[in-house]
Amino acid sequence: VRLVGPAGEQVGVVRVEDALRLAQEADLDLVEVAPDAHPPVAKLMDYGKFKYESAMKARDARRNQANTVLKEIRFRLKIDPHDYETKKGHVVRFLKGGDKVKVMIMFRGREQSRPEMGMRLLQRLADDVAELGSVESAPRLDGRNMTMVIGPHKKKAEAKHEQRRKREAERAEKKGSAPADEAAADVAPADAAGGAAPAEPTAS
Protein backbone atom coordinates (compact mmCIF):
# COMPACT_ATOMS: atom_id res chain seq x y z
CA VAL A 1 0.00 0.00 0.00
CA ARG A 2 1.00 3.63 -0.44
CA LEU A 3 1.25 4.76 3.18
CA VAL A 4 0.45 8.27 4.42
CA GLY A 5 1.56 9.33 7.89
CA PRO A 6 -0.71 10.86 10.58
CA ALA A 7 0.32 14.41 9.63
CA GLY A 8 -0.27 13.80 5.91
CA GLU A 9 3.36 13.06 5.12
CA GLN A 10 4.17 10.50 2.41
CA VAL A 11 5.85 7.40 3.88
CA GLY A 12 6.00 5.57 0.56
CA VAL A 13 4.94 2.18 -0.79
CA VAL A 14 5.28 -0.49 1.90
CA ARG A 15 4.00 -3.98 2.54
CA VAL A 16 0.71 -4.27 4.43
CA GLU A 17 2.50 -6.12 7.25
CA ASP A 18 4.95 -3.23 7.68
CA ALA A 19 2.11 -0.68 7.61
CA LEU A 20 0.25 -2.59 10.34
CA ARG A 21 3.40 -2.76 12.44
CA LEU A 22 3.93 1.01 12.11
CA ALA A 23 0.31 1.59 13.14
CA GLN A 24 0.74 -0.58 16.27
CA GLU A 25 3.98 1.18 17.20
CA ALA A 26 2.31 4.60 16.88
CA ASP A 27 -0.87 3.37 18.69
CA LEU A 28 -2.93 4.37 15.64
CA ASP A 29 -5.25 2.70 13.14
CA LEU A 30 -4.41 1.77 9.55
CA VAL A 31 -7.27 3.05 7.39
CA GLU A 32 -7.61 2.47 3.66
CA VAL A 33 -8.58 5.86 2.17
CA ALA A 34 -8.28 5.19 -1.58
CA PRO A 35 -8.98 1.52 -2.36
CA ASP A 36 -9.19 2.05 -6.15
CA ALA A 37 -5.70 3.59 -6.44
CA HIS A 38 -2.74 1.53 -7.66
CA PRO A 39 -1.41 0.68 -5.17
CA PRO A 40 -4.23 1.38 -2.66
CA VAL A 41 -3.62 4.31 -0.30
CA ALA A 42 -3.76 3.78 3.46
CA LYS A 43 -3.29 6.32 6.25
CA LEU A 44 -2.21 6.13 9.86
CA MET A 45 -4.84 7.86 12.00
CA ASP A 46 -6.99 7.77 15.11
CA TYR A 47 -10.11 6.38 13.47
CA GLY A 48 -12.42 7.24 16.38
CA LYS A 49 -11.28 10.87 16.32
CA PHE A 50 -11.63 10.93 12.52
CA LYS A 51 -15.24 9.71 12.70
CA TYR A 52 -16.09 12.27 15.40
CA GLU A 53 -14.59 15.19 13.43
CA SER A 54 -16.37 14.04 10.25
CA ALA A 55 -19.69 13.95 12.11
CA MET A 56 -19.11 17.46 13.49
CA LYS A 57 -18.30 18.82 10.02
CA ALA A 58 -21.43 17.21 8.59
CA ARG A 59 -23.55 18.71 11.38
CA ASP A 60 -22.10 22.20 10.83
CA ALA A 61 -22.72 21.89 7.10
CA ARG A 62 -26.37 20.98 7.72
CA ARG A 63 -26.75 23.87 10.15
CA ASN A 64 -25.35 26.38 7.66
CA GLN A 65 -27.36 24.97 4.79
CA ALA A 66 -30.49 26.93 4.07
CA ASN A 67 -32.94 26.10 1.32
CA THR A 68 -34.32 28.98 -0.71
CA VAL A 69 -38.13 29.02 -0.65
CA LEU A 70 -40.30 30.31 -3.48
CA LYS A 71 -42.86 32.64 -1.91
CA GLU A 72 -45.94 33.72 -3.83
CA ILE A 73 -47.81 37.01 -3.64
CA ARG A 74 -50.80 38.10 -5.70
CA PHE A 75 -51.76 41.51 -7.04
CA ARG A 76 -54.92 42.79 -8.65
CA LEU A 77 -54.45 44.93 -11.73
CA LYS A 78 -56.40 47.84 -10.21
CA ILE A 79 -54.69 47.77 -6.83
CA ASP A 80 -54.97 50.87 -4.65
CA PRO A 81 -51.80 52.59 -3.36
CA HIS A 82 -52.18 51.38 0.24
CA ASP A 83 -52.57 47.72 -0.79
CA TYR A 84 -49.63 48.07 -3.16
CA GLU A 85 -47.38 49.34 -0.37
CA THR A 86 -48.53 46.53 1.94
CA LYS A 87 -47.82 43.83 -0.62
CA LYS A 88 -44.54 45.44 -1.60
CA GLY A 89 -43.58 45.27 2.08
CA HIS A 90 -44.17 41.51 2.01
CA VAL A 91 -41.95 41.18 -1.08
CA VAL A 92 -39.21 43.21 0.64
CA ARG A 93 -39.41 40.98 3.73
CA PHE A 94 -39.17 37.80 1.65
CA LEU A 95 -36.16 39.08 -0.31
CA LYS A 96 -34.40 40.21 2.87
CA GLY A 97 -34.92 36.70 4.22
CA GLY A 98 -33.15 35.27 1.17
CA ASP A 99 -36.25 33.81 -0.51
CA LYS A 100 -37.40 34.11 -4.10
CA VAL A 101 -40.76 35.72 -4.79
CA LYS A 102 -43.25 34.71 -7.47
CA VAL A 103 -45.42 37.75 -8.17
CA MET A 104 -48.75 37.05 -9.82
CA ILE A 105 -51.23 39.49 -11.32
CA MET A 106 -54.75 38.11 -11.71
CA PHE A 107 -56.78 39.56 -14.61
CA ARG A 108 -60.55 39.74 -14.38
CA GLY A 109 -63.01 40.20 -17.24
CA ARG A 110 -61.95 42.88 -19.72
CA GLU A 111 -58.63 43.33 -17.93
CA GLN A 112 -57.33 40.40 -19.98
CA SER A 113 -57.24 42.67 -23.01
CA ARG A 114 -54.76 45.01 -21.25
CA PRO A 115 -51.66 42.88 -20.55
CA GLU A 116 -49.45 45.95 -20.95
CA MET A 117 -50.91 47.33 -17.71
CA GLY A 118 -49.82 44.17 -15.90
CA MET A 119 -46.35 44.52 -17.40
CA ARG A 120 -46.12 48.10 -16.12
CA LEU A 121 -47.21 47.08 -12.61
CA LEU A 122 -44.66 44.26 -12.43
CA GLN A 123 -41.90 46.49 -13.76
CA ARG A 124 -42.79 49.13 -11.16
CA LEU A 125 -42.48 46.52 -8.40
CA ALA A 126 -39.17 45.24 -9.79
CA ASP A 127 -37.80 48.80 -9.80
CA ASP A 128 -39.01 49.41 -6.23
CA VAL A 129 -37.16 46.36 -4.85
CA ALA A 130 -34.12 46.51 -7.16
CA GLU A 131 -31.76 47.02 -4.18
CA LEU A 132 -32.80 43.66 -2.70
CA GLY A 133 -33.44 41.46 -5.73
CA SER A 134 -33.49 41.17 -9.49
CA VAL A 135 -35.89 39.66 -12.01
CA GLU A 136 -35.03 36.00 -12.62
CA SER A 137 -38.08 35.15 -14.73
CA ALA A 138 -39.46 37.94 -16.90
CA PRO A 139 -43.21 38.69 -16.82
CA ARG A 140 -45.22 36.20 -18.89
CA LEU A 141 -48.88 35.40 -19.40
CA ASP A 142 -50.14 32.12 -17.99
CA GLY A 143 -53.84 31.83 -18.78
CA ARG A 144 -55.65 34.60 -16.92
CA ASN A 145 -52.59 35.43 -14.84
CA MET A 146 -49.27 37.13 -15.42
CA THR A 147 -46.28 35.96 -13.37
CA MET A 148 -42.76 37.17 -12.65
CA VAL A 149 -40.06 35.74 -10.35
CA ILE A 150 -37.70 37.99 -8.37
CA GLY A 151 -34.60 36.44 -6.82
CA PRO A 152 -32.73 37.91 -3.82
CA HIS A 153 -29.22 39.33 -4.19
CA LYS A 154 -28.17 37.60 -0.95
CA LYS A 155 -28.19 33.85 -0.45
CA LYS A 156 -30.47 32.38 2.20
CA ALA A 157 -27.59 31.44 4.52
CA GLU A 158 -26.10 34.95 4.28
CA ALA A 159 -29.47 36.55 5.00
CA LYS A 160 -30.04 34.33 8.05
CA HIS A 161 -26.54 35.06 9.36
CA GLU A 162 -27.07 38.80 8.91
CA GLN A 163 -30.45 38.70 10.68
CA ARG A 164 -28.93 36.72 13.57
CA ARG A 165 -26.08 39.22 13.89
CA LYS A 166 -28.55 42.12 13.85
CA ARG A 167 -30.65 40.53 16.63
CA GLU A 168 -27.53 39.97 18.75
CA ALA A 169 -26.46 43.59 18.26
CA GLU A 170 -29.92 44.83 19.30
CA ARG A 171 -29.85 42.64 22.43
CA ALA A 172 -26.38 43.92 23.32
CA GLU A 173 -27.56 47.52 22.85
CA LYS A 174 -30.54 46.95 25.14
CA LYS A 175 -28.31 45.42 27.81
CA GLY A 176 -25.91 48.34 27.51
CA SER A 177 -28.66 50.94 28.04
CA ALA A 178 -30.23 49.17 31.04
CA PRO A 179 -27.59 50.19 33.68
CA ALA A 180 -27.85 53.85 32.66
CA ASP A 181 -31.63 53.77 33.13
CA GLU A 182 -31.24 52.11 36.54
CA ALA A 183 -28.68 54.71 37.62
CA ALA A 184 -31.05 57.52 36.64
CA ALA A 185 -33.81 55.85 38.63
CA ASP A 186 -31.53 55.66 41.68
CA VAL A 187 -30.64 59.36 41.49
CA ALA A 188 -34.20 60.67 41.12
CA PRO A 189 -35.57 59.60 44.54
CA ALA A 190 -32.50 60.99 46.31
CA ASP A 191 -33.02 64.41 44.72
CA ALA A 192 -36.70 64.36 45.61
CA ALA A 193 -35.92 63.41 49.17
CA GLY A 194 -33.34 66.16 49.41
CA GLY A 195 -35.83 68.74 48.25
CA ALA A 196 -38.39 67.63 50.83
CA ALA A 197 -35.96 67.54 53.80
CA PRO A 198 -37.29 69.50 56.85
CA ALA A 199 -35.39 72.67 57.91
CA GLU A 200 -33.14 72.47 60.99
CA PRO A 201 -34.73 74.05 64.11
CA THR A 202 -33.12 77.34 65.24
CA ALA A 203 -32.64 78.46 68.85
CA SER A 204 -34.48 81.65 69.83
Q: In what order do the strands lie in the sheet with 133-142?
A: 70-76, 100-106, 145-152, 133-142
141 in the same domain as 85: yes
Local confidence band at 166 (pLDDT 50, 70, 90 cut-offs): confident
Strands 41-45, 2-4: pairing kind: parallel
**Hey, which residues does 1 pair with through a beta bridge?**
none
Report which of residues 97 and 185 the model is more confident about.
97
In a domain, 126, yes or no: yes
77 in the same domain as 148: yes
43 in the same domain as 7: yes
CATH number of the domain enclosing 20 = 3.10.20.80
93 in the same domain as 35: no
In terms of residue numbers, what domain contains 96? 70-152
- pLDDT for position 157: 66
80 in the same domain as 33: no
The mean pLDDT value for 167-194 works out to 59
In a domain, 57, yes or no: no
In a domain, 93, yes or no: yes
133 in the same domain as 79: yes
10-to-6, 7, 21, 27, 40 alpha-carbon distances in Å: 10, 9, 17, 18, 13
In a domain, 90, yes or no: yes
Domain tally, the chain: 2
Calculate the CA 64 to chain-centre distance: 8
Report which of residues 153 and 65 the model is more confident about.
153
In a domain, 183, yes or no: no
CATH number of the domain enclosing 77 = 3.30.110.10
The mean pLDDT value for 189-203 works out to 46
